[in-house]
A and B are shown apart, each in its own frame.
Chain A
Amino acid sequence: MEFSGVKRRKPWLIGDQRKASYPHSLQFYLQPPSENISLIEFENLAIDRLKLLKSVENLGVSYVKGTELYQSKLEAEIRRLKFSYRESLEDEYEPRRKDHISHFILRLAYCQSEDLRRWFIQQEMDLLRFRFSILPKDKIQSFLQDSHLHFEAISEEEKNLREQEIIASSTSLGGPKLELEYVYKIPFADALDLFRGRKVYLENGFAYVPLKDIVAIILNEFRAKLSKALALTARSLPAVQSDERLQPLLNHLSHSYIGQDYSIQGNAGKISLDQIDSLSTKSFPPCMRQLHKALRENHHLRHGGRMQYGLFLKGIGLTLEQALQFWKQEFIKGKMDPDKFDKGYSYNIRHSFGKEGKRTDYTPFSCLKIILTNPPSQGDYHGCPFRHSDPELLKQKLQSYKITPGGISQILDLVKGTHYQVACQKYFEMTHNSRDPDLDNRRLLTACPVLGMYALPTMPTVGTIFKDIVLREQCVVETAWMVYMTGRRDLESSLEDGGTEAS
């Protein structure tokens, strides 16, 4: 048995035993830690990890994930805070232990609400993705095994039978070099992010996944497990919180990041219906502007459009009565029978205000949701114009909105690079004469980015939402930028995992 010569605050395990307890530089956090630690260490570990996760978030917003720049910056940050990341380094025990314990401490703080959980899971996933991406190939198998992920590799013969199909399906395979790759056979439902974008070969209910694509699946597994674990943690939280030593710390941790809540209470009744037409051209994002125009022209909108636009109107302050009046007036112009409106449409409007059914007070759709789900088809006007419009038609639209040619080409470039929300921000800047904000080290907000971005300059009534933030941050436009950059980061990671183009 080796004795480590260096003195530590808490010598716990020695030599080979230490290596055995943390065999890898990354982990799935399946087992909670079981050692005793001091309160001071408890607090320091938690704060360090929180700093790390915030860096993960900021870097993900400032740089495209997976690029060299992103990776080198993230690695530097992890090293600075003394967390584990690489397999091959000497004496990884302390950083790995720190990683393990601090994760579980933050679970206590971040299990408490849907928003907190979502944020925590997102950052942990980004962190895991990075660490997995720098794991050497020969270590991957053993890592999977140690993490109890039962992915079975198929035999050579089975692989050869399907060689053509597997190569044709998996864009990550660089060419006909299948002999060198492991291929795993997984029930199709376990490979959701791969098969939905047709990025994997399916046969008889199984997905044939090459090693390179296993990452997406692993991350999914991780997200599912962590999500469940957080729910369980929340249930046992009262017992933890009753410990007076921990309560103040946990509260402090979860409040240092807590998103602005876009529940609409403070807002209702502050716009009048006759303001909407002018607001739609001056302050609405292009997606809502387009919906409003279509509604006025056709005196009708299909379901997708009614949902997206209706919730937006609610978010900017329309009351239920106003909404009912607004939609009814317009639909009647389209020769709809007022009774038919009452029977068929008013129920749905009341439902979205939380007055029917299970009484959920629905919040407006985020950019992420609009871009990634329910794409428009023939006869629809919802969706995101930057994502869902033909580039040619988008260009014409922007021209009709009087954007400068320079601005238009910038926007189209961003659209080509799938940075839809940045394109929207550009549109915002072009129509509002504001400057580019500086991103680093700002606090980020959650919830409805579309609403946030457009609520500010020309709508003093909705500015009440941002009163606190404005006073603290002292920069209204930058706050708006922050608001939807949260959505952008989610979008980019979803695009990486799921892909957008048909194949």
Chain B
Amino acid sequence: MEPFDPAELPELLKLYYRRLFPYAQYYRWLNYGGVVKNYFQHREFSFTLKDDIYIRYQSFNNQSDLEKEMQKMNPYKIDIGAVYSHRPNQHNTVKLGAFQAQEKELVFDIDMTDYDDVRRCCSSADICSKCWTLMTMAIRIIDRALKEDFGFKHRLWVYSGRRGVHCWVCDESVRKLSSAVRSGIVEYLSLVKGGQDVKKKVHLSENVHPFVRKSISIIKKYFEGYALVGQDILENKESWDKILALVPETMHNDLQQNFQKHHSSLQRWEYLKKAASQCPSNIKNEKCGPWLEWEIMLQYCFPRLDINVSKGINHLLKSPFSVHPKTGRISVPIDLQKVDQFDPFAVPTISSICHELDAIFTSEAEKEENQAESDIKHRTRDYKKTSLAPYVKVFEQFLENLDKSRKGELLKKSDLQKDF
């Protein structure tokens, strides 16, 4: 892959926005079938331009308007905000208090830095293939709950471009949810609680809610490979002391001694499980049995959500197909059927796809005679010739599903009204 140099961004972005950004699909998404008047026109976008210039309350009349503006301003970052009561770019003309955010997708942001206390391989903005499993587990757990518990049908998962993933829930009813309900959903999905001050961040009660039980089942599939082998969380005294901090003091001596005797995290974990389920029940206020084992697994593997991202209707979140200015990677949709195989390091960077495009263009232009004709033909299918194509396909599948649902709803409504 072509190495990415942030200094080249202005040039690369010019090419990207002229030839590669999938405007048609993007507009198809945010227009939501044109069912609600002005839905696209009232949507807020924000652009971050070169030199950190940040402009809010951008809005556009249609796809062509969006295209022209993006090509003109060449934004380094694009964020999507809410659908407002008026066109955001005219908000200053609206009477005070009348300009309100009305609808927005339910969004989630899962960031690898929130796991710094439990991953040994990397910290802060760094990620590697070892800790990426945390994102895989997060996607599986959260997506299952959104689909099976909440009944949400249209969920788009996107790689953020550097160290995390986003989820956009786009069902019609979901876009209308209040801030209170959004907060409630995040609370439902939260298990890891506490900051620096708190050592043990997960506490299960005796009654284990089905959501927790199902999440634990998912984690179990990955735990050995991720935690015991990859992260090696019981490798040495320094690392297993952290686990002991989560376990009743009465068990410490026994565990320390036996950990010395074993030779791998795998063995030590087996021992810990046995010890936890056997501990006598006369210990006051300390639970034994599988809860202890589960609490440790959850603290090390369960997703950590940022509630502030999800609860605000007017919150702005990085747009899919936006470029990450530091890594150059495109924020691409993730194929849920292939979540385990998703590799953030294989995601195309803006330099690599521009490079791919150049290579094709030079060879094809030699064959074309009419330059204008070739330009238009290129514009409509250029991304298809680059490594961006499969990701756009995932996006299109998502859009197909949205369309199908919409048609179904319209049919239902017209049946009720007896429209023929």
Contacts and interface: CB of A to CB of B under 8 A. Distances in A.
A429 B325 CA distance: 53
Nearest to A170: B207
A393 interface: yes
Interface in B73-120: 96-97, 114, 116-117
Given A381-B195, A388-B198, A502-B212, A168 B207 contact: yes
A469 B415 CA distance: 65
Contact of B208 (A168, A377, A380): A168
Contacts of B177: 189
A202 B150 contact: yes
B252 to A, nearest CB: 14
B146 to A, nearest CB: 10
B191 A390 contact: no
Interface centre among B185, B196, B213, by most chain A C-beta atoms within 10 angstroms, is B196
Given A171-B207, A379-B195, A503-B208, A205 B188 contact: no
Interface string B36-55: 00000000000000001000
A383 B184 contact: no
B290 to A, nearest CB: 14
Interface in A163-215: 165, 168-169, 171, 188-189, 192, 195-198, 201-206
A145 interface: no
Contact of A377 (B207, B213, B304): B304
B188 A502 contact: no
A441 interface: no
B187 A169 contact: no
Interface in B202-252: 202-205, 207-213
Contacts of B204: 502-503
B140 interface: no
Given A168-B213, A388-B194, A503-B212, A374 B307 contact: yes
Nearest to A499: B205
B180 interface: yes
Contacts of B14: none
A180 to B, nearest CB: 19
A502 B205 contact: yes
B54 to A, nearest CB: 9
A343 B148 CA distance: 44
A68 to B, nearest CB: 25
A502 B191 contact: yes
A189 B181 contact: yes
Nearest to A166: B210
A205 B172 CA distance: 14
A501 interface: yes
A169 B97 CA distance: 42
A378 B116 contact: yes
Contacts of B308: 303, 374
Interface string B107-149: 0000000101100000000000000000000000000000011
B31 interface: no
B196 A204 contact: no
Contact of A202 (B149, B190, B307): B149
B194 to A, nearest CB: 7
B307 A376 contact: no
Contact of B207 (A197, A204, A392, A503): A503
Contacts of B184: 192, 195-196
Interface residues of A, number: 38
Given A390-B199, A503-B205, A165 B210 contact: yes
B122 to A, nearest CB: 15
B292 to A, nearest CB: 14
B197 A389 contact: yes
Contacts of B199: 390, 392-393
Contact of A378 (B183, B188, B195, B202): B195
Nearest to A503: B205
A388 B150 contact: no
A136 interface: no
A195 B194 contact: no
Main secondary structure of the interface of A (DSSP, over half): loop
B195 A203 contact: no
Contact of B197 (A204, A303, A388, A501): A388
B188 A198 contact: yes
Contacts of A392: 199
Nearest to B177: A189
A343 B51 CA distance: 12
Given A189-B177, A192-B184, A198 B212 contact: yes
Contacts of A343: 52
Nearest to B181: A189
B198 A390 contact: yes
A375 interface: yes
Contacts of B200: 390
B193 interface: yes
B104 to A, nearest CB: 16
A376 B205 contact: no
B408 interface: no
B3 interface: no
B150 A501 contact: no
Contacts of B150: 188, 202, 204-205
Given A196-B183, A375-B193, A503-B209, A389 B198 contact: yes
Nearest to A344: B52
A197 B117 CA distance: 25
B212 A383 contact: no
A189 B151 CA distance: 12
A196 B181 CA distance: 8
Given A390-B197, A502-B205, A503-B204, A206 B151 contact: yes
A380 B116 CA distance: 13
B205 A168 contact: no
Interface in A326-385: 343, 358, 374-381, 383, 385
A437 to B, nearest CB: 31
Contacts of B188: 195-196, 198, 202
Contact of A375 (B117, B194, B208, B213): B194
Contacts of B193: 375, 502
B197 A198 contact: no
B16 to A, nearest CB: 27
A192 B177 CA distance: 12
Contacts of B208: 168, 503
Nearest to A165: B210
Contacts of B97: 358
Contacts of A358: 96-97
B301 to A, nearest CB: 15
A203 to B, nearest CB: 7
Contact of B211 (A198, A204, A501): A198
Contacts of A192: 180-181, 184
Contact of B209 (A168, A378, A379): A168
Contacts of A381: 195-196
Nearest to B191: A502
A168 B210 CA distance: 7
Interface in B359-389: none
B210 A201 contact: yes
Contacts of B195: 375-381, 383, 388
A390 B196 CA distance: 10
A337 to B, nearest CB: 12
7 closest A-B pairs by beta carbon, nearest first, are A205-B151, A196-B184, A376-B195, A202-B149, A204-B151, A196-B187, A503-B205
Given A379-B196, A390-B198, 13 more contacts: A168-B213, A196-B183, A196-B187, A204-B148, A376-B194, A378-B114, A378-B117, A380-B195, A388-B198, A392-B199, A502-B205, A503-B204, A503-B205
Interface of B: 52, 96-97, 114, 116-117, 148-152, 177, 180-181, 183-185, 187-188, 190-191, 193-200, 202-205, 207-213, 304, 307-308
27 contacts: A168-B207, A169-B210, A188-B150, A188-B151, A195-B184, A196-B187, A198-B212, A202-B149, A202-B150, A204-B151, A206-B151, A343-B52, A358-B97, A375-B194, A376-B194, A377-B114, A378-B114, A378-B116, A378-B117, A378-B195, A388-B198, A389-B198, A502-B190, A503-B205, A503-B208, A503-B209, A503-B212
